[in-house]
A = this chain, B = another copy of it.
Amino acid sequence: MPTTDDNRTEDGATGAGALDARKAAILNAVVTEYIGSAQPVGSQHVVDAPGVSVSSATVRSDMAALERDGYLAQPHTSAGRIPTDKGYRFFVDHLGRPGSLDPVGRQQVRQFFDHAHGEIESMLERTSGLLADLTDCTAMVVGPSHESAAIRSVQLVGLGQRLALLVVVLADGAVQKQSVELPDEVDEIRLADAASRLAAHSLGLPITQVGPLVVPTGDPKTDTVVAIAVDALRSLGSAEAVDQLFVGGSSRMAAAFDAVDTVRSVLGILEQQLVVVTLLRDILDTGLSVAIGTEHGVEPLASCAIVVMPVSVDGVEAGTIGLLGPTRMNYPLALAAARVVGDRLGQRLSEPSR
């Protein structure tokens, strides 16, 4: 750029994205204070920050440079500086010490997992509440995908004249069901017979890999039932097998913004399970753990940041944790909370005894 006089301190110096030590300190101070106060930060507020032992005039000149380089912005002339998305990005990547939960929070987490009980779904639900409490953000928890879990049990339960329920238990403890309509009244014996044939065909396979069944057994009535049940089973695996999403603390979004419109559109996004799950997956796939502002493509969330953390059980990825807040969210805290809770959750899910 021609406006930048002689880029004496910028990128080229010590490597890509590097910043003068003092400029980094100033940026750090601005971001930190802005996260706390949500007010534009002036040069005077920064002089006492560690690593910045210069006068406010010098700070001002550095801030001007930081603004030229896109790390800071001014809401208007003669106002303090606000971090840009790029500024937050630098903060997250190079500044902001690892961060850890405060003792109170750690205590909360410990207590939560010590007393955690119930089935996985309700635990994930409550986990989202815990995360929201810890971080004051909206928390999203995506449950483990059952795509690769093997079928442990298949059962057909008669419910009425011509209605039966297909109940499938997977190795990871998930239960899926699908009601099936039968062409004729079918007695329990035949139903059990069909179920055992179904089991022989599908037991041990992941639900997505159950193939169509062709070989008939002679009894046409049983064959029909089996055929219908196989179809139902396969439809379970193929269709909208969207991972389950739990959103906690969505009310915190209302506190984060004072523009009601923003709140509305953000909440609107949160209502769309598919969008949220895809979004979290996309962010993870790009290898990020934080997406700031417009870095993810979802336009209504432009003033938000998202922290994601995979949850792994015995080494394999089994879910995702997401934290949604304004771009001026407390990144170190959010990252620490996501990490701690993610780890503990992974441990918990891998314990045989729950």
Chain A residues at the B interface, C-beta cutoff of 8 Å? 119, 129, 152-153, 155, 157-163, 165, 167, 169, 171, 173, 175, 177-179, 181, 248-252, 254-255, 257-258, 260, 263-268, 270-271, 352-354
Contacts and interface: CB of A to CB of B under 8 A. Distances in A.
Given A119-B178, A175-B167, A181-B353, A258 B255 contact: no
9 contacts: A152-B158, A152-B159, A161-B352, A165-B175, A181-B352, A251-B268, A251-B270, A254-B260, A267-B267
Contacts of A251: 263-268, 270-271
A347 B215 CA distance: 39
B173 A159 contact: yes
A175 B177 contact: yes
Given A260-B255, A260-B258, A354 B179 contact: yes
A260 B260 CA distance: 7
A249 B271 contact: yes
Contact of A179 (B119, B152, B250, B267): B119
Nearest to A120: B179
A353 B163 contact: yes
A271 B255 contact: no
Given A163-B352, A169-B167, A178-B119, A250 B263 contact: no
A126 to B, nearest CB: 11
Given A157-B152, A159-B173, A354-B179, A254 B263 contact: yes
A250 B263 CA distance: 11
Contact of A157 (B169, B177, B249, B252): B169
Nearest to A269: B251
Nearest to A263: B254
A206 to B, nearest CB: 16
Query: Which has the most chain B C-beta neighbours within 10 Å: A158, A165, A175, A254?
Result: A254
Given A119-B177, A254-B254, 9 more contacts: A119-B178, A155-B169, A162-B353, A167-B169, A173-B177, A173-B179, A248-B271, A250-B250, A254-B260
A48 to B, nearest CB: 33
A257 to B, nearest CB: 8
Contacts of A354: 179
Contacts of A267: 250-251, 254, 267
A155 B161 CA distance: 22
